[in-house]
Structure 1
């Protein structure tokens, strides 16, 4: 069994594989987060994640910086979340976005949009153990491939908290010139999902963030809590999607569709959509807008695109999710972007 340990870096800002052990008798390849960096949470130094407190920070013994907290079960660092209710969390998130945009530029900048799966070839399939933060495969992969594939998965799992991705239990690495990533169901009961990532790494950190959040939002809006996969179109009492099924009346995507698509979608991009790809369908509009909801400040305008972003703010649980994702996005960027 081959172990590739993932440590929080102390001096560089790139995540790299930093150790492996080969046991000849085993046949399964394993990537596992390191247990060597585990410390008690109360050993970290907490600081408010505002512009003033994020200017100069130092690293502590667990690899986190002094304005971060160590999450032991996921072996990552996140910003200390300094908010106590809906309104303060909205503002805290906006403050984090403002700081990150100052440091790194737009968090939603994209250079390319891949839209189909023509020529897609799966290279390696991994099983995901979210509880142990481990991905495993029986495929014959090299140490270098194992390290690189692990980097792809663990970037996603760093940004998306474990509790929000428990049903994503398979990870595929593929090659294709036309697709950046995908999610899909992979079991007969409509419960468990696959995340697929293109072997060719996305160069822009912002595009990586948008891609992860875009694909995650498909899972969020099309999982078994949101869609009845077995109801046929004729008897569906709500919105029926040909590629998904019958949406429940209280589903996120149902509300989004009724507000922005039921009366007909605009064919004018400016002011109506957050991206050109969002014009494709209600599902893609939802996914692109969700990414902007997380990665941009709360809009103050009254365009249709602004209203679409504001749609997500009516759900307190999504504001909580935004807060948690931003606390992780900040620490991921610090380790993934070389200035």
Structure 2
């Protein structure tokens, strides 16, 4: 969950679990792309490629193994920082409206890239809400978000976004987004990627949601969830949170200090949106480097950045 700055951090998580994908599994679902050489062909700009199934334009991935995907990701980060400045800049502040108050619930058809609702909503509102959803859908490959198939618009003075599991099987997820538009493009990106990191660390296969916490025979983290031994969050917890640091420089952000769950999500977002650390001078650097231990994360980072580049050129006017 992403909270606005200047608010006391409270962890609200619905416990579920996640199973890591491999590069081979990812490649089996790879979308067909069409080279785009002319400006505005398929609404894509010169140098972009068009993903037919998603109606999305991306930059070429141009990597096919660990080293080349690390290099491609760093290349894109440097290019985007040169053009737009820091990709992790944030500026939102809290208001007096506490908690979240759901306004509209949309079901998502990821295959058709459509959202729909039975709620009483105007055409203008649904167009705006669709824009919020498709910002997220543009940044995250469809094959990596198929189980996020519900979208909630809410109002809140202290929460930007959240994700939560909403079905008894532990498979399907909701993305909630504040109705107020985030004006800073970098903050929109880091918010969506932060929430997506929660999904990655909590989705089906990461947690055992079928047992009571007091009956957990796997790894109990902060009395909040029963995690399998090979869960991403377990590795992160054992490396960084068995004795949490009290030093601010050991975290990528102030919000990351609030819990291992938020530290994981914030560190993942910085892993995606900053260059690979050359020297591990702080624990914060080590947390970013943690994600480079998985080839899956390295390729996913490169994929997200090819999308961030084409999203930013449209979002920043």
Equivalent position to 2:277, from 284, 292, 299:
299
Call closer, same or farther: CA 1:220–1:192 in 2, change over 3 Å. same
Q: Is 1:106–2:74 an aligned residue pair?
A: no
Q: Is 1:179–2:159 an aligned residue pair?
A: yes
Could you tell me which residue of structure 2 aligns to residue 318 of structure 1?
Answer: 297
Call closer, same or farther: CA 1:127–1:243 in 2, change over 3 Å. farther
Q: Distance in 2 between matches of 1:325 and 1:174?
A: 26
Structure 2 length-normalised TM: 0.86
Superposition pairs of residues 1-16 of structure 1, within 5 angstroms = none
Q: Is 1:77–2:69 an aligned residue pair?
A: no
Could you tell me which residue of structure 2 aligns to residue 44 of structure 1?
Answer: 36
Could you tell me which residue of structure 2 aligns to residue 61 of structure 1?
Answer: 41
Shift of 1:113: 6.4
Equivalent position to 1:166, from 117, 132, 146:
146
Could you tell me which residue of structure 2 aligns to residue 152 of structure 1?
Answer: 132
Unaligned 5+ residue runs, structure 2?
1-31
Q: State the SS of the aligned residue for 2:176.
A: strand
Q: Distance in 1 between matches of 2:36 and 2:231?
A: 39
C-alpha contact 2:133 2:151 (8 A) present in aligned 1? yes
Q: State the SS of the aligned residue for 1:154.
A: helix
Shift of 1:230: 1.9
Call closer, same or farther: CA 1:84–1:114 in 2, change over 3 Å. farther
Structure 1 length-normalised TM: 0.80
Larger radius of gyration: 1
Task: Please report the RMSD computed on the Cα atoms of aligned residues, expressed in angstroms.
Answer: 1.9
Q: Distance in 2 between matches of 1:214 and 1:116?
A: 24
Shift of 1:242: 5.9
Q: State the SS of the aligned residue for 2:246.
A: coil
Unaligned 5+ residue runs, structure 1?
1-39, 46-57
Q: Is 1:196–2:188 an aligned residue pair?
A: no
User: Runs in 1 of length 4+ with deviation above 4 angstroms?
Assistant: 40-43, 113-117
Q: Which has the higher helix share?
A: 2
Equivalent position to 1:222, from 202, 208, 212:
202
Call closer, same or farther: CA 1:82–1:116 in 2, change over 3 Å. farther
Shift of 1:41: 4.4
Q: Which has the higher contact order (CA 8 A, sep 6+)?
A: 2
Q: Distance in 2 between matches of 1:179 and 1:112?
A: 10
C-alpha contact 1:227 1:244 (8 A) present in aligned 2? no
